[in-house]
Amino acid sequence: MANMINLLMAGLATGAIYALVAIGFTLLWQTSQTINFAQGEFVMLPAFFVLAALNLKAPLWLALLIGLGASLLVLGALFKRAVVDPMLRHGVLPLAICTMALSIFLKEGVKESYSAEASPFPSFVPGGNVSLLGAQISIQSVSIFVFALVVVFALQAFLMRTSTGRQMQATAQNPSVARLLGIPVERMILYTFLINAGLVALASFLVSPVYLAKFSSGETLGLAAFIAAIVGGFNQIRGAIAGGLLLGVVDNFAAAYVSTQYRGAVPLFLLIAVILFRPQGLFGRAEERTV
């Protein structure tokens, strides 16, 4: 029983990270039909922004702010202006291929410019364990889960209860009608890219103390978040949240009770099952598009 509680809590913490990244996938797709295959590297890079600031003797709180600001600028505004806007007019497929190339560029760039070795990343949450029903649960796992949930609920409140959030939803649902209503569609799309950059930066700050900062750390995380978004429903934020949490828990239990060798295959089996029996995802809705 204690072991299952430990696995569940660790799985929820991992799943919360997947959910943050998967929400970014969903938001970008809803507003601009962008599938960012460099999303995993977007999670990897903010940790190195922070490490670079720490190497310049900045205190941790300032380094985190610098990392967040650099992420908003580079992974949000610059990514949209320099990559998405020029490529999207040629179609979704060229843009997808471009983000794949960007993924390789970011990964190899960090490897060559910083280090090929994993670097320790300072944690801003307390260590130690807490007892729950006879199980010793990591305070770090609980903190990651709670912090990610707070971020998700804050984002949901922003989208549902603010004028800007409702304008972003209108843009996602029908950009043409949104323009007729006087909504600044391009600005709303830019806000979406900035939100995605903020989410991946927060995910990076949460996951790097556990798995270290490494140039290749985004590969598995990006793939897992992409699968989570599809499993939950690529057109629903709640689907991305549910898919991330489900995938994190399934992944942890598979490693413990199936096999660590086949751990990576379990999410793929889950993805195949969802595509076959419910292609819109567990919480997604079917869409029709003119092609």
181-217 pLDDT, tens digit per residue, is: 889 999 999 999 999 999 999 999 999 988 888 988 8
Residue 279's CB is within 10 A of a number of other CB atoms, namely 11
Contacts of 18 by beta carbon, 8 Å cutoff, 6+ apart: 221, 224, 225, 228, 243, 244, 245, 247, 248
- Angle between helix axes 185-211 and 139-161 (nearest 10 degrees) is 180
pLDDT of residue 116: 82
Q: How many CB atoms lie within 10 A of CB 59?
A: 10
Residue-level pLDDT at 291:
46
pLDDT band for position 218 (50/70/90)? confident
Q: What is the 3-state secondary structure (H, E, C) of the chain?
A: CHHHHHHHHHHHHHHHHHHHHHHHHHHHHHHHCCCCCCHHHHHHHHHHHHHHHHHCCCCHHHHHHHHHHHHHHHHHHHHHHHHHHHHHCCCHHHHHHHHHHHHHHHHHHHHHHCCCCCECCCCCCCCCEEEECCEEEEHHHHHHHHHHHHHHHHHHHHHHHCHHHHHHHHHHHCHHHHHHCCCCHHHHHHHHHHHHHHHHHHHHHHHHHHHCECCCHHHHHHHHHHHHHHHHCCCCHHHHHHHHHHHHHHHHHHHHHCCCCCCCHHHHHHHHHHHHHCCCCCCCCCCCCCC
131-166: per-residue pLDDT in tens?
Answer: 766 667 778 888 888 999 999 999 999 989 999 999
Domain limits, the chain: 2-217
| Cα–Cα distance, 114 to 135 (Å, whole number) | 39
78-136 per-position pLDDT tens digit: 999 999 999 888 888 899 999 999 999 999 999 988 878 888 898 877 777 777 666 67
State percent of the chain over pLDDT 70: 95
Taking the CA atoms of 125, 128, 129 and 130 in sequence, report the sign of the dihedral they define. negative
CA distance 223 to 241: 15
